[in-house]
């Protein structure tokens, strides 16, 4: 039974790491669109940040101390981008929307907040940490003493 648990853990880790890296790439690919004020891009970036946050929460796969800081920063990013995804730009549908035309509106305030977050040193540190994490994810190894103690047959 122990060998089966270890094997399952070892097989899941690369798949989860690959998914995580794909979601980090999706998050980063939305960055230019969010900076340009595209509402769909902010929704995509927020969704990708949420998926990364969720995957990092799997305590069976990743070392808790390695992911807690990243999860806190992703929550900050999610909070900074969320209002932009949920506010509706006020504009003439016959003219293309530019963020400057929405200034003073709820959308304009949300855009300003999102842009400030994306231009901050905090955001660039988060991006660097996510990329470093993806290049060498700290996959948690199962504790043998814990697993042996639970699965021994006591007849």
Give pLDDT tens digits for 46-97.
999 999 999 999 888 888 888 999 999 999 999 999 888 777 655 444 444 5
- Give the mean model confidence (pLDDT) for residues 5-15: 52
Residue 113 gets the label, from left (phi > 0), alpha (psi -120 to 50) or beta, of: alpha
> What pLDDT, on the 0 to 100 scale, is given for residue 86?
76
Q: What is the CATH number of the domain that holds 43?
A: 1.10.1420
HSE-CB of 69 using CA atoms within 13 angstroms: 9
- 148 part of a folded domain: no
Residue 154 located in a structural domain: no
- C-alpha 116/C-alpha 110 separation (Å) is 10
Residue 149 within any structural domain of the chain: no
Asked if 81 and 45 touch (Cβ cutoff 8 Å), the reply is yes
**In degrees to the nearest 10, what's the CA dihedral of 130, 87, 117, 16?**
0
Against a cut of 0.75, is the pTM above it? no
On whether residue 120 sits in a domain, the answer given is yes
pLDDT category of residue 7 using cuts at 50, 70 and 90: very low
User: What is the predicted pLDDT for the residue at 93?
Assistant: 45
Measure the CA–CA gap between 133 and 116, rounded to whole angstroms: 24
From the CA atom positions of the chain, what is the Rg in Å? 20
Alpha-carbon torsion 96, 34, 111, 56, what sign?
positive
Q: How confident is the model at residue 9 (pLDDT cuts 50, 70, 90)?
A: very low
In angstroms, the CA 71 to CA 150 distance is: 30
Task: Tell whether 49 is covered by a domain.
Answer: yes
Looking at residue 146, its pLDDT comes to 53
User: Over the stretch 103-154, which tens digit does the pLDDT of each residue have?
Assistant: 557 888 889 999 999 999 999 999 999 999 998 887 766 665 555 555 555 5
**What secondary structure letter does DSSP report for 95?**
S
Annotate 31-62 with b (16+ C-beta within 10 A) or e (fewer). Answer: eebbbebbbebbbbbbbbbbbbbebbeeeebb
The residue segments making up the domain with residue 59 are 2-89+97-138
The answer to whether residue 144 is domain-embedded is: no
Q: Does residue 72 fall inside a structural domain?
A: yes
Q: How many domains does the chain have?
A: 1
pLDDT tens digit string along 63-75?
888 899 999 999 9
pLDDT bucket at 155, cuts 50 / 70 / 90: low
Q: Which of 39, 11, 14, 43 is nearest to 27 (CA)?
A: 43
């Amino acid at each position: 039974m122990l060998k089966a648990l270890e094997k399952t853990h070892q097989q899941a880790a690369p798949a989860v790491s690959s998914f995580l890296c794909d979601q980090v790439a999706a998050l980063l690919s939305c960055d230019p669109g969010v900076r340009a004020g595209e509402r769909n891009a902010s929704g995509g970036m927020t969704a990708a940040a949420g998926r990364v946050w969720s995957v990092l929460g799997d305590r069976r796969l990743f070392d808790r101390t390695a992911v807690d800081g990243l999860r806190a920063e992703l929550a900050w990013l999610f909070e900074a981008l969320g209002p932009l995804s949920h506010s509706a730009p006020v504009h003439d549908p016959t003219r293309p929307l530019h963020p400057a035309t929405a200034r003073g509106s709820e959308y304009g305030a949300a855009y300003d907040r999102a842009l400030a977050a994306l231009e901050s040193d905090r955001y660039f540190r988060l991006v660097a940490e996510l990329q470093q994490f993806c290049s060498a994810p700290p996959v948690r190894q199962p504790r043998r003493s814990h697993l042996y103690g639970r699965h021994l047959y006591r007849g």
